[in-house]
Structure 1
C-alpha cells in the first residue's frame, strides 16, 4: 500500500505551507520532485528550497524527469496522453524507491483541487491496479494569495465569482453573469482580448516570494505595463506564475442593475 500525500505549497513560499503540510512532509518516506527541463529549472529550485526550509527529519528526496506535453496535438488529447505519461513516471519511481510500500509526498503548486490535475493523474495509478490511499493536504491557493497581497475581497456584494483559464477567456470572452473573474494558467495576456475601459484588474506574480510583483488599475491603463513587467520577470527568473482578478467597474455594474 502506498499512501500518497498531495501537499499544497501555495505559490512557492515556505510561509504558505500549513502546519499539517509540514508534518506530512516530515512523516513521508519519499518526496518526489519533478524536473521540467533547464528552461524551468527555477521551479525545481523552489521545491528544493521548501524541502530545505521545512524538513527536520531525514526524508528521502528524489528528483525525476517529468514528461512534456505535445503542444502540436489537439489540446485535450495531448493533455490526456501527457497525464498518462506522468502517471507512468510516478509508477516507475514508486517501484524503484518504495517497492514495499510507504508514504509518498508530492508538492503541488497552489491547491491540489483548484485547476490542477495531480488528483486526476493519481487516480490513473489506482485504475492501473496499484494500491494507493490518496490524501490531500490543502495549502494557500494562488487565488487567496492574490487577494491577500492586494488586500481586496474576492467578490463584490451579491455578485458571482467565476474562476477560469487564459485559454477559455480568449475563446469565450467575459463569462456571462460574472461580477468577478479570476484567471489562472494564462500563458500571457488573455485579458488583451477584452475591452478594458470598464474593467479593473488586480495582477500578481511570484506571490508571497521575494520577487513578488503587483499591478492594479483600470485594465485599459495598465494592460501594457502588465505585459512588459511579465516579460521582464520571465526573462530574469526563467519562469513565471501569475494570476489576476478582474471586476467590472462599480459605476458600470450599478448602471446595469
Structure 2
C-alpha cells in the first residue's frame, strides 16, 4: 500500500479506515458463494455434525475472532439498569443501544441494539424478551422506532412458561399494559412459523388512540437460549 498508493492517506481518520479495512481483509477468508452453488453449500453446512472441526464451526470461530471487544465503560447504561436485564452477560453496548423516548416517571432503557443489514446501518433491532415489569417498555420501543414486524426466534410458549410474563393477548381479545392496548386480530399457523397480526394502540386520553398494525412471526421451534431475543425490523 505504501509503495503503490503513497499519497492515498490524507489524514488520521483515513489511515485508520484503511488499516481496519486491510486488517479485516487479511483476517477474514473469502466466503463468496455463487447462486448455483448456494443450495449445495447450505445443505452441507446444515448436515455438519456438532463438533469443533466442521466447516460451520470453523466459520463461527472466524466470526467470533472478528467480533469487537468492548470494555466496561462501553456498557455504562446497561450497568446502571442491571435489574432490567435477564442476564448480566447479555448487555447492549452504549454506541448501538436503542434509547426510548422520555416519559415522565418511566425509564428510557430497554435491552435492545441496532443491527446493520447489507444495505443499511440501522435496518434491524435485536431485543430481549420483556423482563418482569418491562412489557410497556417493549411497546414503547415498537412505537418509537416505527416497527412493523417482530420475528421471534423461539416459541413464546416455551419462554413464557419459564418467565410467566405473557405479553400477547388470547385470540380475538385485547390486553392493556400501562398506556398501551394490544389487540389480537388473526393467526395463521404453518408447520414451522405462526404468523399473528396484532394492533397496538397508545392511549393519549380516554378518547384518543394511536394505532397501527404489527405482523408478528413466531418461530415454533425452540432454537435459542433462555435469554430469548426478538429481531425487530424497522419499516
Q: Name the one with the larger helix percent.
A: 1
For CA contacts below 8 A with separation 6 or more, give which structure has more relative contact order: 1
For the aligned pair, the TM-score class normalised by the smaller chain equals under 0.3
Q: TM-score, normalised by structure 1?
A: 0.22
Query: Is the radius of gyration larger for structure 1 or structure 2?
Result: 2
